């Protein structure tokens, strides 16, 4: 497996690339912007975009959707409960005094437990509502890409439309903390962590 990341967009969202070494196919997760840099990284890794996935629909995670899809022709996927957020990304960005490129409609809506093939790899969708209604995490081998569900020492904010603090804590406890402690966690912002680390030290999960 090839795994790479780079900060993208005005809020420096961590965009992740998960690629299959055998086939050269890749998933691009949360292209927040800076699509030229994403494409350059894909080229450097000899990867072709098989699918674009949004962990949720907030504007900072989807700003590169349109350009990346135009450049690659790859299908765009997001959980169905976050389609309305995707459609209102411009309004959401304006709340922060920012603008964003509008996203195309998703090619397909994802569901909990769905498995997305990327070459010889399989990404499993874990629905983790709370930060947003359709927030998802993606699990492959010992890697977990969590969007804004969980951070190193923190959790996603729940004061935006559709957020629910109790639901988010329940999602993390019931869907993520049951994974092996050695699972490497890659959030939408900030540094990586592990499931074991967050069990022990995350004050929001005490």
Closest CA to 57 of 147, 122, 166: 147
8 C-beta neighbours (distance < 10 Å), count: 22
Give 46-60 pLDDT, tens digit per residue.
999 999 999 999 999
DSSP three-state, residue 133: coil
Q: What are the residue boundaries of the structural domains of the chain, listed by start?
A: 2-205
Rounded to an integer, what distance in angstroms lies between the CA atom of residue 114 and that of residue 24? 22
Q: What is the pTM of this model?
A: 0.97
Rounded to an integer, what distance in angstroms lies between the CA atom of residue 157 and that of residue 197? 20
Cα dihedral 37, 42, 45, 48, rounded to 10, equals -170
Give 16-39 pLDDT, tens digit per residue.
999 999 999 999 999 999 999 999
Kindly state the tokens that stand for 58. 């907030």
Give 158-183 pLDDT, tens digit per residue.
998 899 999 999 999 999 999 999 99
Q: Which CATH architecture has domain 2-205?
A: 4-Layer Sandwich (3.60)
**CB 145, CB 184: distance < 8 Å:** no
């Amino acid at each position: 497996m090839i795994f790479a990341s780079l900060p993208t967009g005005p809020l420096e969202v961590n965009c992740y690339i998960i690629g299959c070494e055998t086939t050269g196919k890749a998933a691009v997760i949360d292209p927040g912007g800076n699509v030229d840099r994403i494409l350059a990284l894909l080229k450097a890794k000899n990867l072709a975009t098989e699918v674009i996935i949004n962990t949720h629909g907030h504007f900072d995670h989807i700003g590169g959707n349109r350009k990346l899809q135009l450049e690659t022709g790859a299908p765009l996927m997001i959980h169905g409960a976050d389609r309305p957020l995707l459609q209102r990304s411009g309004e959401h960005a304006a709340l922060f005094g920012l603008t964003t490129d509008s996203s195309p409609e998703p090619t397909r809506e994802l569901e909990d437990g769905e498995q997305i093939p990327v070459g010889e790899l399989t990404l499993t969708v874990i629905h983790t509502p709370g930060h947003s209604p359709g927030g998802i995490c993606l699990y492959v081998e010992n890697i977990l890409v969590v969007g804004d569900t969980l951070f190193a020492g923190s959790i996603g904010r729940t004061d935006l439309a559709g957020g629910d603090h109790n639901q988010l804590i329940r999602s993390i406890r019931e869907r993520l903390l049951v994974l092996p402690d050695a699972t490497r966690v890659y959030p939408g912002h900030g540094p990586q962590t592990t499931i074991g680390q967050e069990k022990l030290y995350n004050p929001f999960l005490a």
